[in-house]
């Protein structure tokens, strides 16, 4: 091998407004449906990759990665190394937000990994190739390669070459949009997303209806974003989240990601809107709602979340693209 090759990248997590929930191909992580998400600044994960002689080493948030965490990282690197042979890899990754926030640090982590690994291998920036590589680590990661609002098109090809995310609008398009993460519970969820979506697809009688409407839902959400129609977008986001959870609740055994405090907060939003606060929710596969509002009502949304027992509240706005940075982690 030639001299060591090292690169570092930073990426933001994302929150889906039209959600991905189910795979048509488990190995390639190909979804049944397209999805749409907002990239969340200022939260970020930074990852350094170095190719050098020696065994692969993976460290995530200060711990040596083991089991599936390690094998998922190495799988992404192996796909890259199959095309452009490299030596062993050292990977160090660190997030600036707690994994327990329920914000899928894996999305930002795999996006940063894909961007850093390609750069370390001497490949040029290529959002499509980076998105596809990130997807092989975690589906939602393909939507964290670019900032603003991104759409992951499900694609048709069996090899996944047309299943990647594209940017609808960049972070500067709607700077007043706010996403407030209300951490009402820090309990680890019982069923991970990967297992939850498989169980839902295999056993929920509602799954087909859920998957079928997604393509139109993405188009409707895109139009509302172009128009910056917060009210209609908020209504769509709530409807989409309720439907995802309803589909999961109908699985056998049922999958309930909501906690009492989740319901307390999201049921309060109607009253808040009646009182003039434009605020809606979305909810991933966990108990912590993300409130959609605008900059003028961010404080009101934060106060509402706190009054419903949110111990911690994270204020987010649309974030930028994943980028290569100079400051390596080792």
- Comparing CA positions, the residue from 222, 205, 270 lying closest to residue 17 is 222
Degrees, nearest 5: CA angle 325-71-18: 70
Q: Which stretch binds ligand 2P0 (CB under 6 A): 18-26, 124-132, 227-235, 290-298?
A: 18-26
Nearer to ligand 2P0, 51 or 196 (CB): 196
Q: Which stretch binds ligand 2P0 (CB under 6 A): 16-24, 50-58, 154-162, 216-224?
A: 16-24
Count CA atoms within 13 Å of residue 224 on its CB side.
Answer: 19
Q: Nearest distance from residue 181's CB to ligand 2P0, in Å?
A: 14
Nearer to ligand 2P0, 180 or 272 (CB): 180
Q: Going residue by residue from 34 to 53, which x/- string records binding to ligand 2P0, judged by CB under 6 A?
A: -x------------------
Kindly report each contact of residues 217-221 with a partner whose C-beta sits within 8 Å and lies 24 or more positions away, as own/partner: 217/18, 218/18, 218/34, 218/35, 218/36, 218/151, 221/17, 221/18, 221/36
Alpha-carbon dihedral 54, 55, 59, 64, rounded to 10 degrees: -130
Q: How far apart are CA 304 and CA 273, in angstroms?
A: 11
User: DSSP state, 259?
Assistant: -
Nearer to ligand 2P0, 244 or 308 (CB): 244
Sequence-distant (6+) residues with CB within 8 A of 159 are 28
User: DSSP state, 42?
Assistant: S
Q: Is 20 in the site for ligand 2P0 (CB under 6 A)?
A: yes
Q: Is 210 in the site for ligand 2P0 (CB under 6 A)?
A: no
User: DSSP state, 297?
Assistant: G
Q: Is 140 in the site for ligand 2P0 (CB under 6 A)?
A: yes
Q: Which stretch binds ligand 2P0 (CB under 6 A): 74-82, 132-140, 229-237, 317-325?
A: 132-140
Q: How far apart are CA 248 and CA 4, in angstroms?
A: 47
Q: Is 285 in the site for ligand 2P0 (CB under 6 A)?
A: yes
**DSSP secondary structure string, 131-177?**
HHHHHTT-GGGGGGSS-SEEEE-----TTSTT--EEEEE-TTS-TTE
9, 11, 28, 29: residue in contact with ligand 2P0 (rule CB under 6 A) = 29
Q: Is 284 in the site for ligand 2P0 (CB under 6 A)?
A: yes
CB 320 within 8 A of CB 4: no
Q: Nearest distance from residue 296's CB to ligand 2P0, in Å?
A: 27
139, 147, 318, 320: residue in contact with ligand 2P0 (rule CB under 6 A) = 139
Q: Nearest distance from residue 33's CB to ligand 2P0, in Å?
A: 9
Q: How far apart are CA 183 and CA 164, in angstroms?
A: 30
104, 133, 180, 191: residue in contact with ligand 2P0 (rule CB under 6 A) = 104
Q: Give the footprint of ligand 2P0 on residues 175-194 (CB under 6 A).
A: 193-194
Structure tokens at 155: 């694609």
Q: Which stretch binds ligand 2P0 (CB under 6 A): 13-21, 43-51, 173-181, 200-208?
A: 13-21
Nearer to ligand 2P0, 19 or 154 (CB): 19
Q: Is 105 in the site for ligand 2P0 (CB under 6 A)?
A: no
Nearer to ligand 2P0, 139 or 320 (CB): 139
Q: Which stretch binds ligand 2P0 (CB under 6 A): 74-82, 122-130, 135-143, 290-298?
A: 135-143
Structure tokens at 110: 């795999």
Element containing residue 304 per DSSP (H, E): helix 298-307
Residues that bind ligand 2P0 (CB under 6 A): 16, 19-21, 29, 35, 104, 106, 138-140, 193-194, 284-285
């Amino acid at each position: 091998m030639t001299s060591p090759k090292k690169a570092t990248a930073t990426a933001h997590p994302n929150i889906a407004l039209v959600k991905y929930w189910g795979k048509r191909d488990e190995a390639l992580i190909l979804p049944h449906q397209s999805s749409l998400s907002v990239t969340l600044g200022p939260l970020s994960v930074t990852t350094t990759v170095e190719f050098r002689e020696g065994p692969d080493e993976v460290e995530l948030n200060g711990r040596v990665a083991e089991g599936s965490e390690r094998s998922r990282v190495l799988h992404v690197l192996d796909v890259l190394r199959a095309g452009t042979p490299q030596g062993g890899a050292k990977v160090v990754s660190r997030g600036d937000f707690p994994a327990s926030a329920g914000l899928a640090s894996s999305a930002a982590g795999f996006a940063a990994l894909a961007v850093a690994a390609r750069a370390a291998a001497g490949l040029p920036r290529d959002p499509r190739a980076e998105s596809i590589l990130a997807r092989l680590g975690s589906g939602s990661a393909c939507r964290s390669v670019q900032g603003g609002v991104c759409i992951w098109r499900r694609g048709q090809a069996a090899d996944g070459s047309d299943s990647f995310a594209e940017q609808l609008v960049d972070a500067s398009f709607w700077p007043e949009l706010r996403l407030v993460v209300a951490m009402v519970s820090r309990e680890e969820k019982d069923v991970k997303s990967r297992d939850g979506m498989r169980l839902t697809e295999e056993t929920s009688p509602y799954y087909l209806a859920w998957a079928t409407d997604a393509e139109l839902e993405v188009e409707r959400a895109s139009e509302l974003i172009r128009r910056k129609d917060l009210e209609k977008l908020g209504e769509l986001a709530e409807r989409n989240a309720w439907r995802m959870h309803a589909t999961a609740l109908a699985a056998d055994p049922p999958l309930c990601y909501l906690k009492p405090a989740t319901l307390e907060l999201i049921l309060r939003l109607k009253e808040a809107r009646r009182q003039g606060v434009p605020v809606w929710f979305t909810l991933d596969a966990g108990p912590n709602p993300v409130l959609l509002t605008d900059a003028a009502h961010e404080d009101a949304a934060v106060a509402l979340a706190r009054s419903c027992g949110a111990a911690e509240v994270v204020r987010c706005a649309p974030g930028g693209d994943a980028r290569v940075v100079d400051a390596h982690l080792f």
